[in-house]
Amino acid sequence: MTLPLLPPLPPPVLALSEHPTLLEDIQYQLVGFFIVLLTLISIWLTLEVLGRLFRAAAARKAAAAEAAAADAAARPDPLEPQVVAAIAAAVDVVVRDPHRILSVTLAPDQPSSLPSVQQTAWSVEGRRQIYSSHKVR
C-alpha cells in the first residue's frame, strides 16, 4: 500500500493533454511562471532575513570592539620602568635645581608624513650650518 505524497492536482498543473487548447497552454505557462516567481520571492526573503541577522551580529561585534577601544583609550598605557628611569635621569641632568617628577605620559601620535615644527627647525638649522661652513667660490 502506497500513500500519495501530494494531493491530486488538476491536469493542467501536472501535464498538458496531447492536444491542448490555447487557454490550457496559457494556464500551464501562468502556473509555471507563478511557481518560479514564488520560489524566487522565498529565496529573496530567506536571504534578506539572513542578511539582517548577519548585519545585526556585525553591529554587535563593532559595538563591542568600539567599547573595548574606548575602555583601552581611557586607561593610559603603562610605561616600562626602564623608560621612566631614563626620563628621570635625563631630567636630573638637565634640571640642576631640586625637582620632582609628578607624572610621565606618552605624547599623542603624530602623522609620520608631516614633520613637527621642532623637526623642521632642527633641519633648517643643520642646513644653515652646513652652508655656512663651505666657502663660496
Is residue 78 a part of any domain in this protein? yes
Q: What is the per-residue pLDDT across 49-102, written as a single tens digit (0 to 9) for each?
A: 999 999 999 999 999 888 887 776 666 556 777 878 888 888 888 887 888 888
Looking at residue 19, the DSSP 8-state letter turns out to be S
Q: What pTM, to 2 d.p., does this model score?
A: 0.40
Is residue 83 a part of any domain in this protein? yes
What's the confidence (pLDDT) of residue 90? 85
Quickly state the pLDDT bin for 14 (edges 50, 70, 90): low
Cα 53 from chain centre: 17
Is residue 95 a part of any domain in this protein? yes
Q: What is the per-residue pLDDT across 96-131, written as a single tens digit (0 to 9) for each?
A: 788 888 877 776 665 555 566 667 777 888 888 888
Looking at residue 9, the DSSP 8-state letter turns out to be -
Q: Which domain holds residue 76?
A: 20-99
Is residue 125 a part of any domain in this protein? no
Domain total for the chain? 1
Residue 1 has pLDDT above 60, yes or no: no
Q: Identify residue 64 by its one-letter amino acid code.
A: A
